[in-house]
Structure 1
Amino acid sequence: MSDFFGSPSSPPPSSSPPASPTSSKRWTVRGVRVSGRQLAATALTAVVALAVFEAVHTVSSPAPTAGHGGAPPGAAASVSGNSGPAAARGMNVLLVGLDARDGVTAQQKAAFHLGGAACHCTDTMMLVHVAENRRRVSVVSLPRDSLTRIPAYTDKKGKAHRSRTAKLNAAYAEGGAALTMRTVEQMTGLHIDRFLPVDFARFMKAVDGLGGLDVCTDRPLKDSATGLDLPAGTTRLSGGRALQYARSRHVDNQADFGRIQRQQKFVVSFVKEIADDGTLRSPARMAILASVLLPETTAVPTERAFTVKDMVLLARDLRNIGLDSLEFSTVPVKGFVTVKGVGSTVAWDAAKSAAVFRAVRADQSLTTATAAMPAGHRTVARRNEFVPVKGSELACP
């Protein structure tokens, strides 16, 4: 990587289709010229640990009561009250990947199979908890088709909507960030401190700004729906190809659960990429990068927005975080449930998921949620299991 104010980054890998922007492009950010690689470093920081900007010192909220809140059969227990659970120790961020295609060019749509209609819903969802002592980051993936009950709400036109049974990803499409956070808070009993949405265009721009990103697989991966075609081994991907990798769910019989595992590996690769470039140790770089990532207006669709100061403090607190300090898992599920008017949904295991979120609320490692784990020790979870894995175990060799 070039020096922060030095020459532009090298272009992305030659295998990258021309539809994806090149990392030699430079952005003018409020009077400062910034390279693509620097922009990506900020986006990555946001993707993984955007939560850490200052310690939260509040009293832990009580664990949710099973069945409370009128949850549908198979859905996780919910917590009543429009204000949501009280904040607990540490910081909780809800990271979502949006199926939104604003800013995606016609060439990119053709090259990376992005020509379908956007649902403007959450295609990916991760609950990111940063420990109060800033020595651990825990990530729990929430399947997009999770069975839930969307709380009653009033839309922007003033129309009142009753609470209803739905898939989790419908919350954003109906009520944006605020309704999504309320829904997840009801399902988990956790207070959401910050919300970070990442759409297709920002995703591709971030990876291209890095000059590409390494992903590894022990067998070839192909998905006709996204156009993904990866050989076994380690491959350097451009932004568009990385998006294909992150979106693909038809490469094995694991469907969305296999995709979740690949997305977690992608996040680890992204973190590893910027861990060595010094970005997190430079307040000046972070201030400029934050001004690239964060909007200049109040257009962010949530009241829980970040500031440049937040991002600088995040960098300070995460400067010594390593891959062994990251842990990943998927919420434990009971199976698939077909609901009339909703379709095939993923039902959480109420008892086991409650154990997971009790550990998060107590600011403890996911490995302490032993009641949620399968009998015997495994480092790879089956699609209905909760098995925490360190980031170092997901990294490419």
Structure 2
Amino acid sequence: MKRYRRLRRPAMASVVLATMGALLGSGTALPGRQDAPRAMNILVMGTDGRDTITDAERRAFHAGGRACGCTDVLMLVHLSARRDRVSVIGLPRDSYARIPAHRDQAGGRERPAHPAKINAAFREGGPELAVRTVESMTGVSVDRHLQVDFRRFMDTVDEVGGVEVCTPRRLRDSATGIDLAPGTHRLGGGRALQYVRARHADGSADLGRIRRQQRFLVQALRQVRVSGVLSEPARTARMVRTLLGSGPQGFGFVDLARLAAALHRLPASATEFTTVPIGRLAPAEAGVGSALMWDREKADALFARIRADRPLVEKGTHPRPKEPPSIVGSPAPVRGSAYACS
């Protein structure tokens, strides 16, 4: 694969805004690949950097700590050829992976293919290596990738007037500082950041966090519609500028605004979510620590549907979302409408 101009590497946080950006079309076209004329696959990456928000915001929203320079969140977003369906697959950051041979970006030395957690690919070789790693594991060709930082996430949530979330039980996470009583809450940018980063609120760890991020995404897309942002040219322009940021992007301003106008009409039922099926924990002899092994048979079937541009949830079925009972396994795919607050 040819090397391509690397995006600036600001602090990256939540997959949620990244997925919003992907749905609206921002991202970076990979080298030698034209804009997908039919279906489009976008790898959404949120890293654990922390340098785009102020010291005061880091303290207020518990966003400090030491960054590892890896991807904190990975999701594969598939837009159907007819642009009438969006499928989002969560890829747990602790997934066992075999990272392809590459030149290490830190020292410049050649490294052979080797086992590691999937989130190490970004640290070792940046977004290009992260894309290659995901492609080798899924068999899905990634057309674009997108990174997002804390600043863009917080500002965009505030731009739409906050996002409503609901929790059936108390949601408390000491690491991010979030503490929500049972019920419905409207979260501004900072508190929304705490919500989507929480992974110590229950025993489901990263899989539970992915599910909460997916719920948040559905509510965020609803809020974009009801807030009228995309029906007012001035507010649309402001939203697009926020999503594009100041760094280079693969979409121009006009193209992004046009795609946003086309996609914002999708109902919640046109979005569907799942997490890649987990088979077991990696054995100690694998040498990568506590990692999750994908259930290859089920994962291959899942990604075959993506390659064939087929829905994850068959028409006429409406399974209700359930929290994953353990690390092993994964919940059935659900449509976005099943994530409504009640």
- Alignment TM-score, normalising by the size of structure 1: 0.72
How far, CA to CA, are the matches of 1:342 and 1:393 in structure 2?
36
Work out whether residues 313 and 335 of structure 2, in 8 Å CA contact, stay in contact via their aligned partners in 1. Answer: no
The aligned residue for residue 311 of structure 2 is: 365
The aligned residue for residue 127 of structure 1 is: 76
Task: Report the secondary structure of 1:173's partner residue.
Answer: helix
How far, CA to CA, are the matches of 2:335 and 2:323 in structure 1?
13
The aligned residue for residue 151 of structure 1 is: 100
Q: Does 2:182 align with 1:232?
A: yes
Of residues 150, 153, 156, the one that matches 1:206 is 156
Work out whether residues 24 and 263 of structure 2, in 8 Å CA contact, stay in contact via their aligned partners in 1. Answer: yes
How far, CA to CA, are the matches of 1:362 and 1:281 in structure 2?
34
Percent identity between matched residues is: 46
Of residues 5, 20, 27, the one that matches 1:48 is 20
Superposed CA deviations along residues 134-190 of structure 1, whole A, max 9, x for unmatched, are 111111111010100111112346421211101111111111111111111111111
Of residues 12, 37, 43, the one that matches 1:94 is 43
Question: Which of the pair has more CA radius of gyration?
Answer: 1
Report how far residue 286 of structure 1 moved: 4.0
The aligned residue for residue 133 of structure 2 is: 183
How far, CA to CA, are the matches of 1:354 and 1:317 in structure 2?
31
Instruction: Give runs of aligned pairs for residues 224-373 of structure 1, distance below 5 A.
Output: 224-281=174-231, 286-287=236-237, 289-298=239-248, 305-339=250-284, 340-368=286-314
How far, CA to CA, are the matches of 2:32 and 2:111 in structure 1?
17
Of residues 329, 339, 342, the one that matches 1:394 is 339
How far, CA to CA, are the matches of 2:304 and 2:186 in structure 1?
38
Call closer, same or farther: CA 1:256–1:114 in 2, change over 3 Å.
same
How far, CA to CA, are the matches of 2:37 and 2:135 in structure 1?
12
- Alignment TM-score, normalising by the size of structure 2: 0.83
Q: Work out the number of aligned pairs and report it.
A: 315
Work out whether residues 135 and 321 of structure 1, in 8 Å CA contact, stay in contact via their aligned partners in 2. Answer: yes
Report how far residue 216 of structure 1 moved: 0.6
How far, CA to CA, are the matches of 2:241 and 2:188 in structure 1?
24
How far, CA to CA, are the matches of 1:53 and 1:251 in structure 2?
32
Call closer, same or farther: CA 1:235–1:288 in 2, change over 3 Å.
closer
Call closer, same or farther: CA 1:368–1:323 in 2, change over 3 Å.
closer
The aligned residue for residue 103 of structure 1 is: 52
The aligned residue for residue 34 of structure 1 is: none
Call closer, same or farther: CA 1:213–1:131 in 2, change over 3 Å.
same
Work out whether residues 38 and 82 of structure 2, in 8 Å CA contact, stay in contact via their aligned partners in 1. Answer: no
Superposed CA deviations along residues 239-279 of structure 1, whole A, max 9, x for unmatched, are 22111111111111111111111110111111010012344
Matched letter for residue 228 of structure 1: I
CA RMSD of aligned residues (A): 2.8
Work out whether residues 96 and 196 of structure 1, in 8 Å CA contact, stay in contact via their aligned partners in 2. Answer: yes
Report how far residue 368 of structure 1 moved: 4.8
Superposed CA deviations along residues 272-294 of structure 1, whole A, max 9, x for unmatched, are 10012344456775455433432
Task: Report the secondary structure of 2:282's partner residue.
Answer: strand
**Which structure 1 residue ranges, 5 or more long, are not aligned?**
1-42, 55-81, 370-376
Call closer, same or farther: CA 1:95–1:198 in 2, change over 3 Å.
same
How far, CA to CA, are the matches of 1:295 and 1:110 in structure 2?
24
Work out whether residues 287 and 311 of structure 1, in 8 Å CA contact, stay in contact via their aligned partners in 2. Answer: no
How far, CA to CA, are the matches of 1:319 and 1:241 in structure 2?
24
Work out whether residues 156 and 239 of structure 2, in 8 Å CA contact, stay in contact via their aligned partners in 1. Answer: no
How far, CA to CA, are the matches of 1:271 and 1:284 in structure 2?
19
Call closer, same or farther: CA 1:134–1:280 in 2, change over 3 Å.
farther
How far, CA to CA, are the matches of 1:234 and 1:378 in structure 2?
19
Task: Report the secondary structure of 1:132's partner residue.
Answer: coil
How far, CA to CA, are the matches of 1:173 and 1:51 in structure 2?
26
Query: After the TM superposition, which of the residue ranges 241-250 and 198-207 deviates more from structure 2?
Result: 198-207
Work out whether residues 91 and 276 of structure 2, in 8 Å CA contact, stay in contact via their aligned partners in 1. Answer: yes
Report how far residue 211 of structure 1 moved: 3.1
The aligned residue for residue 59 of structure 1 is: none
